[in-house]
Structure 1
Amino acid sequence: MLRLLAALFSVAVIAAVAGMWAFHQTQALAQQSLAVTEPQELTLEHGTSFRSLGKALADKQLITYDWRWKLLGKLHPELTAIQSGLYQIDSSDTVNSLLERIIRGDEKRFFLTLIEGKTVQEWLLYLQTLPHLSVDQEAFNRVLAAHGDSSNHPEGKFFPDTYQYRASSGIESILTQSYLKMQQALDKAWQQRDSNLPLETPYELLTLASIIEKETGQESERPLIAAVFINRLRKGMRLQTDPTVIYGMGARYDGNIRRKDLREATPYNTYRINGLPPTPIAAPGLESLLAAAHPADVAYLYFVSRNDGSHIFSNTLAEHNKAVDKYQRNR
């Protein structure tokens, strides 16, 4: 009897030791560094099992897929709640840190920047170069339609900013953020605008802001540019702004505006039409929206570029012509 008890005790001790050894081996696996030399992407399809994940990591030669991986899943069933998506494996990752991100669904983030002053067509060309993002020509219009706008003219209606996305994100979800942000910014600018502006709708404010955005990149000049256009609108003067002419030319614009272009009758040629063009001509940033809503209190009616990014402003045509002679005609 004693021998039997001794044998059973020995077996129990051996089993306990073996169990402890197996446990420590499994824990060592969980703390094992994946030691990638540069970030790698890992795509997990819907329904990926814990075993399939282990085999995928082994295929990348990041772990050895054996009994330890299987035991890890049994000892820690919470680690088997795999969420599909695209994940990034970093050089600092351990097996455990990667698993924790996967069960949180903490997918790899990507960033895109919609730059102010660009047109929707320019944005489309940029968006189509980004990874894990499917973008077609109608993406902006689909967002408009989803919000009750059937104009099929998205220019200026999306806010320029930097946005995050995941490989599982659709372009509409990103553009919806941009659209709603612009509607909020425009509504606030319109509600808080100066009184007696010669603008009848928020859309006219947006259109004016887009012209301001194209005319100057200097924040300090935007209220002055806005004042010139507001003063002209009040006096019934044509805006005569080149960026609108360029927009109306479309793909024909080759970097130069000729006299015949200024004489051409297009809806956007503000040398020929009265008032604002029918739509925005680019995406205005917040500063341009605020400038359109709060132009400087000055009497300027003209401005001309100094060719260094800044402008000379004038009250009279005579002053303006002198500035043009100095900075443009005599170049």
Structure 2
Amino acid sequence: MLKRLLAAVGILVVLGAAAAAGGYVYWQSRLQAPLALDEPALYQVPAGAGFNQVVGQLEAEGIIDDAWAFQLLARVQPERVPRLRVGEYRLTPGMSGLEMIALLGSNNVVTYALTLPEGRTFSQLRDLLDNAPKLEHRTLGMSDDEIMTLLDREGVFPEGWFFPDTYRYHLGMSDVDILRQALARMERILDEVWAERADNLTVESPYEALIMASLIERETGAPEERREIAGVFKRRMEQGMRLQTDPTVIYGMGERYEGRITRADLREATPYNTYVINGMPPTPIAMPGRASLEAAVDPLPGDTLYFVSRGDGTHQFSRTLREHNNAVNRYIRNR
């Protein structure tokens, strides 16, 4: 009788072990099962979401079939469950559940690009930020002064201080993050460029170089002209001539500018109108790129004092007023 009992117990133990082994194999198979996707899909890990909440949502959205398998994993093998990171992730067909969980705890979030073009104003930069998708818009409704205070630059006029480039961001980042990056880059690059400046400049500080670079940036998009335009500005300042650059007139007009400037605009006394004021305007008028910054601190030597647009993005440079007037007749009045 005892032998039969022991045999029965043994059989039960074997069956239990087999069932446990089978259950373990099935559990692992559910963890390794491919996602129920026919095409790539984006999934967003929301802020503050716990692991069980996320896998429950994934099951509800039909991306995985067995949330219980992952919830069990978190209970019995928590070391295999990464800390999830807020953001968007690209899930692909064929990816297993375990691969997906590893992805949701990685830095491989979906990113977006925002380009801040050279020559734009701070107002235009703000418009770009306000319309950037997936970006938290913390600065909406703030004044420029409030933004600079938020960036730890209280009292600094924002124009020109943000480096134009393409910046990448992901869900969870804000416009303040982009502004901090652009500000830090401009400060760093301006310091680098100023350290390599030429001798005998008319600009006397990094900030004056930033102002000059903004004028150069707004005057030309032709790379080969930047140093020559810087040279014209340098020589005019040395000879006590006014800079007489149209972009400063336009900047001083603000929102009144509608695509053209008149003789009355050229005579209007604004702090920025270099047809009226001596020297440079009090602040930058746009965001200059590195090439314009480098030109501002390394003007091209020469004897030209004037330039006029040819209408194709380049300029005709002249040494004398007579040459300049002839160029104006050729490229402006005749056109």
Common fold: TM-score over 0.5: yes
Which residue does the alignment assign to 1:128?
A: 130
Q: Which amino acid aligns with 1:60?
A: E
Match of 1:112 among 96, 114, 130: 114
Q: Which amino acid aligns with 1:132?
A: L
Shift of residue 113 of structure 1?
2.0
Match of 2:167 among 125, 148, 163: 163
Which residue does the alignment assign to 1:184?
A: 188
Spell out the pairing of 1:45-194 with structure 2 (5 A cutoff): 45-46=47-48, 48-92=49-93, 93-104=95-106, 106-130=108-132, 131-134=134-137, 135-138=139-142, 141-142=145-146, 144-145=148-149, 149-194=153-198
Which residue does the alignment assign to 2:334?
A: 330
Which residue does the alignment assign to 1:271?
A: 275
Q: Is the 8 A contact 2:31 2:69 kept in 1?
A: no
- CA displacement 1:247-303 (0-9 Å, x = unmatched): 111111110111111111111111111100010000000110000011112221111
Q: For the structure 1 residues 33 and 258, does the alpha-carbon distance in structure 2 shift closer, same or farther, using more than 3 Å as the test?
A: farther
Q: Is the 8 A contact 2:89 2:103 kept in 1?
A: no
Q: Aligned residues, how many?
A: 330
Q: For the structure 1 residues 78 and 103, does the alpha-carbon distance in structure 2 shift closer, same or farther, using more than 3 Å as the test?
A: farther
Q: Is the 8 A contact 1:79 1:103 kept in 2?
A: no
Q: Is the 8 A contact 2:45 2:104 kept in 1?
A: no
Secondary structure of 1:238's partner? coil
User: For 2:332 and 2:53, how far apart are their aligned partners in 1?
Assistant: 68
Shift of residue 49 of structure 1?
3.0
User: For 2:143 and 2:104, how far apart are their aligned partners in 1?
Assistant: 30
Within the alignment, does 1:318 sit opposite 2:322 as a pair? yes
Which residue does the alignment assign to 1:17?
A: 18
Within the alignment, does 1:37 sit opposite 2:39 as a pair? yes
- CA displacement 1:183-240 (0-9 Å, x = unmatched): 1111222222111111122111100000111111121111111111111111111111
Q: Which amino acid aligns with 1:128?
A: D
Q: For the structure 1 residues 312 and 39, does the alpha-carbon distance in structure 2 shift closer, same or farther, using more than 3 Å as the test?
A: farther
Q: For the structure 1 residues 322 and 15, does the alpha-carbon distance in structure 2 shift closer, same or farther, using more than 3 Å as the test?
A: farther
Q: CA RMSD in A?
A: 2.2
Q: Is the 8 A contact 2:306 2:318 kept in 1?
A: yes
User: For 1:68 and 1:6, how far apart are their aligned partners in 2?
Assistant: 34
User: For 1:250 and 1:64, how far apart are their aligned partners in 2?
Assistant: 59
Secondary structure of 2:307's partner? strand
TM-score normalised by the chain length of structure 2: 0.90
User: For 2:38 and 2:44, how far apart are their aligned partners in 1?
Assistant: 12
Shift of residue 169 of structure 1?
2.5
Q: Is the 8 A contact 2:214 2:288 kept in 1?
A: yes
Q: Is the 8 A contact 2:85 2:105 kept in 1?
A: no
Q: Is the 8 A contact 1:85 1:168 kept in 2?
A: yes
Shift of residue 244 of structure 1?
0.7
User: For 1:117 and 1:276, how far apart are their aligned partners in 2?
Assistant: 17
- CA displacement 1:116-166 (0-9 Å, x = unmatched): 110110011110112232132547645633666433520001111222333
Which residue does the alignment assign to 1:211?
A: 215
User: For 1:116 and 1:161, how far apart are their aligned partners in 2?
Assistant: 8
Q: Is the 8 A contact 1:209 1:292 kept in 2?
A: yes
State the 4+ residue runs in structure 1 displaced beyond 6 angstroms. none
Secondary structure of 1:313's partner? strand
Task: Structure 1: give runs of 5+ residues left out of the alignment.
Answer: none
Shift of residue 12 of structure 1?
3.0
Q: Is the 8 A contact 1:301 1:316 kept in 2?
A: yes
